[in-house]
Amino acid sequence: MKTIKGPAIFLAQFMGPKRPFNTLESICKWAASLGYKGVQIPTWDANYFDLAQAAKSKDYCDEIRGMIEAHGLAITELSTHLQGQLVAVHPAYGDLFDSFAPRQVRGKSGARTQWAISQLNQAAKASKNLGLKSHATFSGALLWHTMYPWPQRPSGLVEDGFKELARRWKPILDVFDKQGVNVCYELHPGEDLHDGITFERFLKETGNHPRCCILYDPSHFVLQQLDYLQFIDFYHPHIKMMHVKDAEFNPTGKSGVYGGYQGWIDRPGRFRSLGDGQINFGAIFSKLTKYDFEGWAVMEWECCLKHPEQGAAEGAPFIAHHIIRAADKAFDDFAATSKNQKLNKKVLGL
């Protein structure tokens, strides 16, 4: 068995105009001061990380990595959550997602999709230049507006939707394969890949592509009322990344899974800071250790109640407490006997 690496932190929710959150170096220094050992880096703000430069320049990547390592940190993965979302956008969501793209492609769905694909391809090369093995992203969605089947979906709609989604992603997956990097989709409501079944549909349409993998985040499964522990039993061969994020689900007589269009603080399903929700992280870390998960335990902070800096400060020791140093021997080895074929036959009554 392997010991999970960590604790690490996803920087996206902390980036901002004020120090220490306004530069990559200062935010890394801050993360290290809290006890984190790794950082997951967003790639949509060139002021923090220049994706285009990282894709073409090994020297730039060495400089970034050296700066981060000087603070006692490692780069766990890069993230293209926003760009991945734009690989597949239904027109109903076009205006809402335009803000994820540069101004020159806003309102131009075809150009926006091609820009997103080029961003993913750059991320594959940048990951290789940084020596990374996995990458975090979203799948985008063409079918999400039909998630609840009323009116009844036209025959073949779901199959056609996943075929088209796979058609767009298959060349990207091939680029990542050439660079030796896994594409880890965060299974997330709002994406066509949001649970185990949708991941299976997509994986099949990609021809079981070896780089088609999962970013495991149990918080999204709590909000869907999916068994997040059994999920690991089913899909552990595909889980190459994890977000450590807490959540709770407290339905009422007025609102349930769909949330009633309420703000986060009033929804039955809410994301919480680590330790404040309902997720059994002890069981999660045990299962992932059992299945030889080789990645990082990366905290993603999202909470409607607690200040992010308090959540970050509490997150590092919380994760460190849950990381299991994998055993290298059985607890009853002291009573073991050496292999003896004659004895074995005798015990078996042979």
DSSP secondary structure letters along 191-237: SS--SHHHHHHHHHHTTS-TTEEEEE-HHHHHHHT--HHHHHHHHGG
Residue 165: per-residue pLDDT: 98
Token output for 148: 């609840």
**How does residue 311 score in pLDDT terms, banded at 50, 70 and 90?**
very high
Q: Which two tokens stand for residue 144?
A: 């999400």
Rounded to a whole number, what is the distance in angstroms from the first to the last CA of the chain?
35
Q: What is d(CA 211, CA 199) in angstroms, rounded to the nearest whole number?
A: 13
Q: How far apart are CA 155 and CA 152, in angstroms?
A: 9
Give the pLDDT score at 254: 98
Q: Is 165 exposed, middle or buried (0-12, 13-18, 19+ CB in 10 A)?
A: buried
Q: What ranges do the domains of the chain cover?
A: 5-347
Percent of the chain at pLDDT exceeding 90: 93
User: What pLDDT shows up at residue 121?
Assistant: 98
Question: Given the structure tokens 């090369």, which residue do they identify?
Answer: 125
Gap between the Cα atoms of 78 and 132, Å rounded: 8
Pick from 256, 285, 282, 280: nearest CA to 268 = 256
The predicted-structure confidence for 133-155, as pLDDT tens digits, reads as follows 999 999 999 999 999 999 999 99
How many C-beta atoms lie closer than 10 Å to residue 226's C-beta? 16
Q: Which pLDDT value is given to residue 240? A: 98
Confidence grade of residue 331 (pLDDT, cut at 50, 70, 90):
confident
Threshold 0.85, pTM exceeds: yes
Q: What would the mean pLDDT of 337-344 be, rounded to a whole number? A: 87
Total residues belonging to the chain: 350
Any idea which fold 5-347 has?
TIM Barrel (3.20.20)
C-alpha distances in angstroms, 157 versus 185, 219, 220, 326?
A: 22, 29, 25, 46
Cβ atoms 75, 65 nearer than 8 A: yes
pLDDT band at 334 (very low <50, low <70, confident <90, very high): confident
Segment 82-107, tens digit of pLDDT: 999 999 999 999 999 999 999 999 99
Cα–Cα distance measured from residue 175 to residue 81, given in angstroms and rounded to the nearest whole number: 17
Three-class SS of residue 94? helix
Q: Quote the CA–CA distance of 308 and 303 in Å, as a whole number.
A: 8
- What does the DSSP assignment read for 28-56? HHHHHHTT--EEEEE-S-TTT--HHHHHH
